[in-house]
A and B are shown apart, each in its own frame.
Chain A
Amino acid sequence: MPRIPPSVFRQALRTDPLLVPLLPVTRSLSGAQAELRWLRKEVPKPKLPWAIVQRSNYRPLQYILGDQPFLDLSIKCAEGTLIPRWETEEWIARIKPFISNVKIIDACTGTGCVALSFNGTGSNIVGIDIDTSCLSLAKFNQQSNRCDDIVHWAQCDILNWTDDLHHVCKGVNFLVSNPPYIPWEEYTKLDRSVKNFEPQLALVGDLEFYNALVHNLLEPNLNTCDGFVFEVGNVNQIHHVRDLVKKHGWNVGYLMDSAGYHRCVVGWKPDGRFDFKKLCDFVY
């Protein structure tokens, strides 16, 4: 990582001394100014020094402030659960208009942000996670955001095919997931604020999760399920899913994010209720 020039530190000191401890974390003056503004606004004054020390130790801002805006929701965040990312926010906003009155499964739901975003589509939504602390946070978020569509939560391990999982997923029409997709070699290179504070369970994974999503969730429900969207970390994972569903004759495409990276693999049945062709940035 490039060094921050001393002139930037001097400038920070001149504008506001409290910016200085934030600079190494945000790595830009404007970033530090924005974070300090938010901290000042949301943290009670006596706790501000504590919050700044926390942040200067690379603790994510969302864990200090306790929440993260996500589309029109406010998602409570706590250590042990992944903070919702803007990449996820972006693709959900694009997909939501295509969805109405269906049964949705959100596998690997974490804070529940994906499942709850589909509130208002008149759907029956089930969020699945292996971690019970994630599920209780998701339930909290459901209540605090007053989501009135039918949302349920289930504790299942998607990597193992069980009767429970089978029962929960029965009759699904639309499958979404943001599974852990960072291979181990990449994980060790991640930023300190991610690696030291966010749960490994939510981050580390690779093709095994896409295998599980297709074999354990999609294939047993091929008659009812008409489409899926899985978030990915690289183009290999897209190719892998494409090759898995090709034999069922499904259409496959992908979405890019606004940073220019491959972000989602999208699949839909040729004669099903969804036509995601217009949505995709590329169709195979």
Chain B
Amino acid sequence: MLPIRSISKLIRCFSNTAGVSIKRNKLPPRPKVSEDEIEEVFIKGGKWWAESKYRWKLCQLEELKFKTNSNFFKINKTNSKVQLTHIPTGLVVSSQATRSREQNRKHAREQLAYKLQELLDPENSRAKALRELRIQKKHSKVKKTKKKYKLLDEEKQKQKELEKNEEQEEMIFKFE
């Protein structure tokens, strides 16, 4: 009979080799989305408005409309919510994460880029890799507490920083 300790060692050995583990520094790069494909809409306005190359055409339409019906007035309350539409796919994201509209615009663009990548290339997407990394981390945490893993101070620091970065990235998926 094998002693219990060696059994657990064996199991650990197997669980380590099974499945490809994800490395933090080998994640797919952060996705980006082209400004030309985005339409930015203020959330409370009933009408829509396109950014960039769609702008000019729309304006000419507007001008015609307003020649006939010209008294159209609007003051909005203060609001920082931003909504983006990806024109080619129709994917919509919105962000109300902070009180700063500029921050929310950035946040919404990041979110859109991640979602888009997941839609177009789910296998190699960064979002998927991040999710797997999180699961992996959970497992290794359990292991670590058992083993009383000792990292060098320097390494620990690095690890912490990486984890902080990941947390920030995970925030992208919150506060829609």
Contacts and interface: CB of A to CB of B under 8 A. Distances in A.
- Per DSSP, are chain B's interface residues mostly helix, strand or loop, or mixed? loop
A34 interface: yes
A186 B71 CA distance: 11
A16 interface: no
Interface residues of A, number: 42
Contacts, number: 109
B73 interface: yes
A260 B48 contact: yes
Interface residues of B, number: 40
Given A89-B101, A256-B49, A186 B76 contact: no
B72 A62 contact: no
Contact of A186 (B58, B63, B66, B73): B73
A30 B96 CA distance: 8
Nearest to B48: A260
Interface in B133-176: 175-176
B131 to A, nearest CB: 24
9 contacts: A30-B176, A182-B73, A233-B75, A234-B72, A256-B58, A258-B41, A260-B42, A261-B45, A282-B59
Interface of B: 40-42, 44-49, 51, 55-56, 58-60, 62-63, 66, 70-81, 96-103, 175-176
Interface of A: 30-31, 34, 37-38, 60-62, 65, 68-69, 71-72, 83, 85-87, 89-90, 93, 182-183, 186, 190-191, 193-194, 203, 233-236, 239, 256-262, 281-282
